[in-house]
Amino acid sequence: MLRKIIWAVGAIAALWLSYVLWYVMNTHRILTQTNFVFGWPFMSAWPIDLLRFGILVIGIAAVVYARKVIIGVVAGYTFGHIMAMLFHSDTFDSNSGTYMNNAWIIWTGIYLVCIGAGIVMEYIKKIKNKGVKE
């Protein structure tokens, strides 16, 4: 039980640290010239929504002690952010007169793929362990 709590608290702390780093880098425009996630008005809350989703997944994964899923959440949030900063593109929508950005798509896609990979790896581990016990 203590291991589950330690894993969950450590992962949430790492996820929160990643969010804080994102916030500082984005608001002070470190490594980028644009406020890259805020291409659309509803995107301003997207990083915190991803954080909340990650905390939910960590909580569920901690209950079943799925360490690879927990690692996938933290790695996906951080790696997705880095990849979004490196590979996002800005476009101008002449119809609405606003700038659009695809960073949130890159970030969310990588985040979900990492979580999915953690789930698949946990499932494979459970199948292998089940075969060993029998």
For residue 127, what are the CA distances in angstroms to 28, 84, 118, 120, 121? 47, 34, 14, 11, 10
pLDDT computed for residue 29 by the predictor: 57
Q: What is the mean pLDDT of the chain?
A: 82
For the chain, domain boundaries: 2-133
Share of the chain above pLDDT 70, in %: 79
Give the containing element (helix H, strand E) for 92: strand 90-93
Q: Write out pLDDT tens, residues 9-63.
A: 999 999 999 888 877 766 665 555 555 554 544 456 788 889 999 999 999 999 9
pLDDT of residue 98: 67
The DSSP call for residue 101 is E
For residue 33, give the DSSP letter.
Answer: S
Residue 90 has pLDDT above 90, yes or no: no
DSSP state of 43: G
